[in-house]
Amino acid sequence: MEEKKNTNDTLLENQSSLNQKRRVPYRKNYNKNRIQNKDNRARIEKEEVKFKKSPLKIIPLGGLLEIGKNMTVFEYENEIIIVDCGLAFPEDDMLGVDLVIPDVSYLERNKEKIKGLVITHGHEDHIGAIPYFLKQINVPIYATKLTAGLIQNKLEEHKLLRSTKLKVVRQGERINLGKMKVEFIRSCHSIPDSVALAIHTPVGVVIHTGDFKIDYTPIDNEKMDFGRLAELGNKGVLALLSDSTNSERKGFTMSESTVGEVFDKLFLNCTKRIVVATFASNIHRIQQIVNSAVKYGRKVSVCGRSMINVIETAMELGYIRVPENTFIDIDMIKNYTDEQLVILTTGSQGEAMSALTRMATGEHKKVEITPNDLVIISATPIPGNEKFVSKVIDDLMQIGAEVVYSSLADIHVSGHACQEEQKLMLSLVRPKYFLPVHGEYRQLMVHAKTAMKVGIPPENIFIMNNGRVMELNENSAKIVGTVQSGRVLVDGLGIGDVGNIVLRDRQHLSQDGLIIIVLTMDSNTGEVVAGPDIISRGFVYVRESENLMDDVKKNVQKELSKCREKGIKDWSSIKSNLKDGLRDYVFAKTKRNPMILPIIMEV
């Protein structure tokens, strides 16, 4: 029994000894491995930092919180791609201004990075600023055939065609622009050859829809490439920038083909001359009008320079197909009876100098509206233009013409997607991040809410502003700062020389008029040699307000006497005193605040 116990004790001692022997090298190896693993982790973290991809920057320079002036910058490391370069039309308070274009100061500072300008379609709010942009920065332009043809017309007009590289890209084609590649995806809009863009970047694919609608029965049978959009969605889309213009409208946008049916009904059994006003760029609409004219044996004549240019370009490129001798010159309309004619014209928005407006006021040199005319305004007024369109309709009706417009018949459909179409786009693409674009703030907000309904997390939706910089990576999106942006006003040949101060002066002059004070002073003594003479423009009619103008002149003489008494001989001080004294006097007398401009000549 004792022997057995000793044996067990020995086994225990041996086991303990063995464990003790094993424990020492295990601890050494453990510590050694722990240090080695720590070094490995540090090395891996360094490599991750070293090989971490740079973020993609998205910088809108126009088209957000506004309608028009669309322009978006995509920047990766030292390379930039620009999408669209559009203009906006002046607002009511921009007196004398012709066009509004984006401020491209940021691109001027980084012009060596620019790889190209990519265009989604040929509307003015997407291509109109290209000539002004190219005068500052000359870059290659990539566009589909019709879009390139419309751009070419602009370049010829501005004498820029020879110095510009304009490359035609087919729908479905992909172009390499450095580290970024741009794929042109067939889309649908109110102008042919529209595309959405899939921008393939090192951090992921970004899709820019451009302007779009979903039309299952388009006039040219060129349906949107749903398959490619879904394929990209299945592979994973980092971000979607989508058109928000019609985001407030529920349901679907009607097909363009429905308008053709309405035209056929209006042309049927009509014995009047038919005048149709529509957007010059709406080639599908023009094609349907021409189809109806041919069907009912009418010749077509075109009014308006922009309409003529677009139709000529579209026919040359094969986008408008008509039998020979369908179009006649406007000077030839007198050789045909009313029931043999259709006149296509610009002016569907009631623009002051457009052909339809001049017809309505009796100022058009070639076309005189009569009670035997049917005038069809195939457009809806752009917000802000309602009163101009109403005025044209009233003028036409007073002449006795029959007028059909959007309130009376379905003679216009939009080229932009409504809510259900926007949901379909979001569902096909399934982006990680969503940026509503091309719209005013309320439209962007409604589009954001639509995106939430289809499952986009609110934290992944960004409502941007022009000039804001967004940085995107595979797993992050954040707004990191701003760049210079805004609007540049084009007035005649001047670009950017009309600013806020000039506009303020123009508004001041338009509201209250101008008073000019002219006097001659001795440069040595400061004595008034001649004058003061008072000239008024836009303030009061002098002959009917002689007493007031005499009082103004007496007030000026009184202020000059005060200056002499105080020993003021500095001309700038004299001018300042004259302006201040006369402003107070005129306001007290008339409750008006005209601009006052003293002119002092020396002898």
Compute the distance between CA of residue 87 and CA of residue 99 in angstroms, rounded to an integer: 7
Please provide the DSSP assignment of 132-194 as one string. Answer: HHHTT----EEE-HHHHHHHHHHHHHTT-TTT--EEE--TT-EEEETTEEEEEEE---SSTT-
Q: Residue 80 forms beta bridges with which residues?
A: 75, 114
CB 273 within 8 A of CB 372: yes
Q: Give the angle subtended at the CA of 356 by the CAs of 352 and 358, to the nearest 5°.
A: 60
Compute the distance between CA of residue 252 and CA of residue 250 in angstroms, rounded to an integer: 7
Instruction: Give the containing element (helix H, strand E) for 58.
Output: strand 56-62
Can you give the length of the chain in residues?
603
Q: Which of 100, 97, 98 minimizes the C-alpha distance to 506? A: 97
Look up residue 482 and give its two tokens.
């701003």
Look up residue 451 and give its two tokens.
């995106």
Max CA separation in the chain (angstroms): 146
- For residue 532, say if its preceding peptide bond is cis, omega within 30 degrees of 0: yes
Instruction: Give the containing element (helix H, strand E) for 555.
Output: helix 546-566
Residues catalogued as catalytic: 243, 416
Q: Residue 516 forms beta bridges with which residues?
A: 535, 597
Sign of CA dihedral 571, 572, 576, 582: positive
Sequence-ordered alpha helix ranges (H) in 179-242: 226-235
**């000529």: which residue's tokens?**
312
Please provide the DSSP assignment of 368-427 as one string. Answer: ---TTEEEEE-S-PPTT-HHHHHHHHHHHHHHT-EEE-TTTS-----SS--HHHHHHHHH
Q: Which of 466, 391, 495, 387 minimizes the C-alpha distance to 97? A: 495
CB 418 within 8 A of CB 253: yes
Q: Which of 285, 243, 247, 252 minimizes the C-alpha distance to 126? A: 243
CB 279 within 8 A of CB 272: no
Under DSSP, is residue 230 helix (H, G, I), strand (E, B) or coil? helix
Compute the distance between CA of residue 333 and CA of residue 525 in angstroms, rounded to an integer: 73
CB 566 within 8 A of CB 596: no
Q: Which of 189, 183, 194, 179 minimizes the C-alpha distance to 237? A: 183
**Which 8-state DSSP code applies to residue 543?**
G
